Amino acid sequence: MRSKTLPPLSEKQMLWWRDAKFGMFIHWGLYAIPAKGEWYMNNEHVPVDQYRHLSEQFNPQRFDAAQWVRIAKDGGMNYMVLTARHHDGFALWDSASSVDNFTSSLTASRRDLVKEYVEACRKAKMRTGLYYSLMDWRIPGYYKPHDLPDSADQLKNQCYGQVSELTKNYGKIDVLWYDGGWLNMQGSDADAAWLWDPVRLNKLVRKANPNTVINPRSGWEGDFDCDEGGAAVTGPIKPRPWEKCLNLNKTTWGYNRTQNLMSFDEIVTMLVDTVVRNGNMLLNVGPDADGVIPSAHAERLREVGQWLKKYGQSIYGTRGGPLEPVEKQYGTTQKGTSIYIHAFNCASGQTLGLPPIDKQIRKVTVLTGGKAQIQQSKYATIIHLSDLTPDGPDTIIRLDWGKVKGR
Ligand code: GLC
């Protein structure tokens, strides 16, 4: 029998995720060996048997999950999501349900990499997420589910088995991030709900791991919405929890010998544009075949982490608002008795004209350096900026409306 409904997590259960703001996505699998991205098997029409040979070469000697966690922490990231299994069907763990035993424990490395990752995250108190792609390019029923119902059943059984393994055998999983719900390379995640029966699937997840934050891409609405890719974040503040996921290396999610990294300014701008609209940002890295996050990725993240060390108060634990963002100009976040204005392209001598704020502002501080004076009226908030010492693309102005120390 089909289960029809499953409520999303409560606000209380979502609180840590809402406050976390910034996470690390990791695309890693056999595809790191040919180094052409995670779609290599499909893009280059590699036959299943041939692709399987990659597992004999897979021996990531330098994979050290603790090091990944350190890089995420240095980047100011508060959760991590690892591709436990991508569309190629290769499981990074010792998966009993894997069709034809396509797992990391049967590779040259003979390691349960998910286990190592989960343990390293927990040890460092890092929130732990797993990505799972429902589809599997190896299974014929994926392409012709109606003509090959037995094979489509095998695909579905593998999915139920593997999702159970991941959510039952590895302790507390903070995020379950589905992908690839569509069939035969067409349509949307929701189109294939007839096959996956996602409400039933996610009820099993909830039973094993009641607080796991689940994304919407299994065809069930999930606990948050997804905005995928590098396009700018625009529009108003969104009431429902949502996440922007994108790639640090703009070439592909999985390791690619062509590297084209987002700049520091691009990352900070995207993060700010996301947070002022009440979202989280999940930024992807692609470790190489040896299990190493490229040093250029780590370095770029460290730059962002340094920025967050200085200005994290205006990001972490905040909520979007009180003012609606204006594209390419400004957005606001708030926490307690502080309002943070994140303004782009500011210059000394500039006056920012904003809508009225219904709080008596007692103190104005330019966190990124400089001076500001405020005039409030029923109709507008005017801020005069001077002596700015820019530190990145974002000028951050804190407005305090509570009791101010020393007054
Ligand atoms: C798309 C891509 C996939 C990637 C995912 C990340 O679904 O097909 O390769 O893992 O986006 O959101």
One domain for residues 137 and 80:
yes
d(C-alpha 122, C-alpha 321), whole Å: 33
d(C-alpha 379, C-alpha 200), whole Å: 52
What pLDDT band is residue 405 in, cutting at 50, 70 and 90? Answer: low
d(C-alpha 82, C-alpha 291), whole Å: 12
Q: What is the domain-level CATH number for residue 108?
A: 3.20.20.80
Residue-level pLDDT at 402: 82
Q: Is position 3 within any domain?
A: no
Q: Is position 2 within any domain?
A: no
The closest-lying atom of ligand 1 relative to the alpha carbon of residue 39 is 9
The pTM (predicted TM-score) of the whole model is 0.97
Distance 180 CA to ligand 1 centre (A): 7
Question: Does residue 76 contact residue 22 with C-beta atoms inside 8 Å?
Answer: yes
253 CB near ligand 1 (under 6 Å)? yes
Distance 179 CA to ligand 1 centre (A): 7
226 CB near ligand 1 (under 6 Å)? no
d(C-alpha 217, C-alpha 197), whole Å: 12
243 CB near ligand 1 (under 6 Å)? no
Q: Is position 251 within any domain?
A: yes
Pocket test residue of 43, 179, 283 for ligand 1, highest count of atoms within 8 A of CB: 179
Among candidate residues 296, 314, 332, the one where a domain is terminated: 314
One domain for residues 155 and 300:
yes
Long-range own/partner contacts, residues 360-363 (CB < 8 A, 24 or more apart): 360/401, 361/399, 361/400, 361/401, 362/400, 362/401, 362/402, 362/403, 362/404, 362/407, 363/398, 363/399, 363/400, 363/404
177 CB near ligand 1 (under 6 Å)? no
Q: What tens digit of pLDDT does each residue of 44-94 get?
A: 999 999 999 999 999 999 999 999 999 999 999 999 999 999 999 999 999
The strand order across the sheet containing 338-344 reads: 319-320, 330-335, 338-344, 394-400, 363-366
Q: What tens digit of pLDDT does each residue of 101-119 get?
A: 999 988 888 999 999 999 9
88 CB near ligand 1 (under 6 Å)? no
Among candidate residues 314, 336, 361, the one where a domain is terminated: 314
The closest-lying atom of ligand 1 relative to the alpha carbon of residue 226 is 12
**Beta carbons within 8 Å of 90's beta carbon, 6+ residues apart:** 29, 30, 55, 102, 103, 104
Pocket test residue of 224, 253, 256, 283 for ligand 1, highest count of atoms within 8 A of CB: 253
d(C-alpha 166, C-alpha 164), whole Å: 5
What pLDDT band is residue 142 in, cutting at 50, 70 and 90? Answer: very high
Where are the extended beta strands (E) located within 206-301? 213-214, 225-228, 242-247, 279-285
The closest-lying atom of ligand 1 relative to the alpha carbon of residue 25 is 6
Distance 255 CA to ligand 1 centre (A): 13
Domain with 326 in it: 321-400
Residue-level pLDDT at 188: 86
The closest-lying atom of ligand 1 relative to the alpha carbon of residue 86 is 10
Q: Is position 405 within any domain?
A: no
Q: Is position 138 within any domain?
A: yes
Q: What is the domain-level CATH number for residue 396?
A: 2.60.40
The closest-lying atom of ligand 1 relative to the alpha carbon of residue 83 is 10
Q: What tens digit of pLDDT does each residue of 266-290 get?
A: 999 999 999 999 999 999 999 999 9
